[in-house]
């Protein structure tokens, strides 16, 4: 595998691929953070992304997670094209503002100088705007499909990406610090819970049953991540290693197909690193998850990865099995360094 393979994905695409990234480029002003990245993650694989600092690994993660839109290129998740640069975006604000402005105009024409009538029509226009704008911003499914029928495309937002089955952790831990471990996981289950605010206010049996069941399930995720008995502990009071585990538990709670782990063993001692590595292995065997991993610890990467992709200065310089990567001269030069033997 050499750098010339950039144009075509190294692993052939199959319909069962969880993620297909097509020539993703991301520019921050003059800086090219990612250049024409081709990337495929087969189902139930553990794929690692390695490279020196500033290679663009986390940027790539953020693009997949819907946090930053790519400059060009697109990403398909489970066969759905969710991430790509916006198309005909200028059309959308017209849709929002045309109806209220029309109402206002009609009002002014109809009321013939009667200020109180104009005010009434103005209020009506305002009401219309109040209904349209928040709906458009909240982007419910029917609105999305309506927009797409008009040929408008907008990249999915983080919460849409979660809905389509991607969970993630962060390089620098981002927990809800003043909430308990259990509540952190419950927030992760947000999209899996169905009860509405009205259910909650009326405290319907459905709501109570769901809440109770959610707590049991959340406790199970905590246990899976090795945080048994830590339910009521505030996230901020957990030791560092447990905070990393809690982030994984929270990401698991959205029942992802693809789990993005950004340096899950950073700052951990060898024993903890071993435990996390074992956990990641179990996630695949027990939950059938696909994992994309950013990691600097080569023992972890070489130990559990099916395939490894190496980034350097925003470009993919190598792709292959751990054995191939270990022997790749470009990777050795850019990142691994000469083996100690």
Partner 1 sequence: MTRQRGTVEDSETGATALGSTDRLFDFFGRHRSVAIMAAMLLVAIALPLIVLAPPFSGFNTQGVWIDNFNGAGIYVLLALGLNVVVGLAGLLDLGYAAFFAIGAYTYGLLASSFYGIHVPFWPMLIVGALVAALFGIALGAPTLRLRGDYLAIVTLGFGEIVPVVFTNSDALTNGTNGISGVDRPSLPGIIFGASNPVPFYVTMVVMLTIVLILLYRLQDSRLGRAWMAIREDELAAASSGVNTITTKLLAFALGATTSGLAGVFAASRLVFVSPDQFGFTVSFTILAMVVLGGMGNIWGVAIGAFVVFIVQSVVLKQLTNFLQPLNIPFLSSIDFLQYQFLLFGIALVAMMLLRPEGLFPSSRRRRELHTAQGDDLSSPQESAEPLT
At closest approach, how far in Å is the CB of 167 from partner 1?
Answer: 8
In angstroms, the CA 98 to CA 104 distance is 10
Question: Of the two residues 100 and 320, which places its CB atom closer to partner 1 in the complex?
Answer: 100
CB atoms within 10 A of CB 1: 18
Contact residues for 85 (Cβ-Cβ < 8 A; gap 6+): 69, 70, 71, 72, 155
Question: Of the two residues 162 and 301, which places its CB atom closer to partner 1 in the complex?
Answer: 162
In angstroms, the CA 34 to CA 24 distance is 7
In angstroms, the CA 207 to CA 12 distance is 46
Per DSSP, the three-state class of 117 is: helix
CB 291 within 8 A of CB 46: yes
Question: Of the two residues 163 and 296, which places its CB atom closer to partner 1 in the complex?
Answer: 163
In angstroms, the CA 218 to CA 230 distance is 12
Question: Of the two residues 255 and 275, which places its CB atom closer to partner 1 in the complex?
Answer: 255
At closest approach, how far in Å is the CB of 126 from partner 1?
Answer: 7
Strand order in the sheet with 72-77: 31-41, 19-28, 72-77, 80-83
At closest approach, how far in Å is the CB of 201 from partner 1?
Answer: 5
Question: Of the two residues 234 and 336, which places its CB atom closer to partner 1 in the complex?
Answer: 234
∠ Cα 16 20 23 (to 5°): 155
At closest approach, how far in Å is the CB of 93 from partner 1?
Answer: 13
At closest approach, how far in Å is the CB of 100 from partner 1?
Answer: 11
Pairing verdict, β 290-294 and 258-262: parallel
Q: Which runs of E-coded beta strand occur in 67-141? A: 72-77, 80-83
- Which positions lie near partner 1, rule CB under 8 A? 65, 67, 115-116, 119, 126-127, 129-130, 133-134, 137-139, 157-159, 162-163, 168, 170, 174-180, 182-183, 186-188, 190-191, 193, 195, 197, 199-201, 203, 207, 211-212, 215-216, 218-220, 222-223, 228-229, 231-232, 234, 250-251, 253-254
At closest approach, how far in Å is the CB of 107 from partner 1?
Answer: 15
At closest approach, how far in Å is the CB of 49 from partner 1?
Answer: 18
CB 140 within 8 A of CB 131: no
Question: Of the two residues 50 and 214, which places its CB atom closer to partner 1 in the complex?
Answer: 214
In angstroms, the CA 301 to CA 320 distance is 12
Question: Of the two residues 139 and 284, which places its CB atom closer to partner 1 in the complex?
Answer: 139
Question: Of the two residues 229 and 270, which places its CB atom closer to partner 1 in the complex?
Answer: 229
At closest approach, how far in Å is the CB of 137 from partner 1?
Answer: 5
In this structure, what are the phi and psi dihedrals at residue 53, rounded to the nearest 5 degrees?
A: -60, 140
């Amino acid at each position: 595998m050499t750098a010339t393979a950039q144009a075509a994905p190294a692993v052939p695409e199959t319909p069962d691929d969880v993620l297909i990234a097509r020539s993703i480029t991301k520019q921050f002003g003059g800086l090219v953070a990612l250049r024409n990245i081709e990337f495929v993650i087969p189902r139930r694989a553990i794929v690692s992304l390695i490279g020196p600092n500033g290679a663009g690994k986390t940027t790539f993660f953020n693009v997949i997670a819907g946090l930053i839109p790519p400059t060009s290129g697109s990403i398909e998740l489970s066969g759905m094209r969710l991430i790509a640069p916006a198309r005909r975006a200028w059309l959308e604000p017209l849709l929002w503002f045309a109806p209220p402005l029309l109402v206002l105009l009609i009002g002014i024409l109809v009321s013939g100088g009667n200020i109180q009538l104009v005010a009434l029509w103005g209020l009506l226009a305002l009401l219309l705007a109040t209904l349209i704008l928040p709906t458009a911003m909240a982007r419910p499914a029917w609105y999305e499909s309506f927009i797409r029928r008009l040929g408008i495309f907008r990249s999915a937002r983080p919460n849409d990406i979660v809905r389509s089955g991607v969970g993630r952790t962060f390089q620098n831990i981002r927990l809800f610090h003043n909430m308990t471990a259990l509540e952190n996981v419950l927030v992760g289950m947000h999209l899996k819970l169905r009860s509405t605010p009205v259910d909650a206010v009326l405290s319907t049996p459905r709501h109570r049953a769901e809440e109770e069941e959610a707590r049991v399930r959340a406790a199970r995720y905590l246990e899976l991540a090795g945080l048994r008995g830590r339910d009521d502990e505030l996230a901020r009071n957990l030791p560092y290693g447990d905070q990393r585990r809690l982030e994984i538990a929270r990401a698991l709670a959205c029942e992802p197909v693809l789990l993005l782990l950004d340096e899950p063993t950073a700052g951990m001692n060898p024993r903890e690193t071993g435990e996390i590595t074992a956990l990641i292995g179990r996630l695949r065997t027990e939950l059938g998850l696909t994992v994309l991993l950013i990691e600097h610890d080569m023992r972890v990467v070489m130990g559990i990865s099916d395939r490894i992709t190496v980034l350097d200065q925003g470009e993919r310089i190598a792709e292959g099995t751990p054995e191939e990567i270990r022997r790749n001269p470009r990777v050795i030069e850019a990142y691994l360094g000469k083996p100690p033997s």
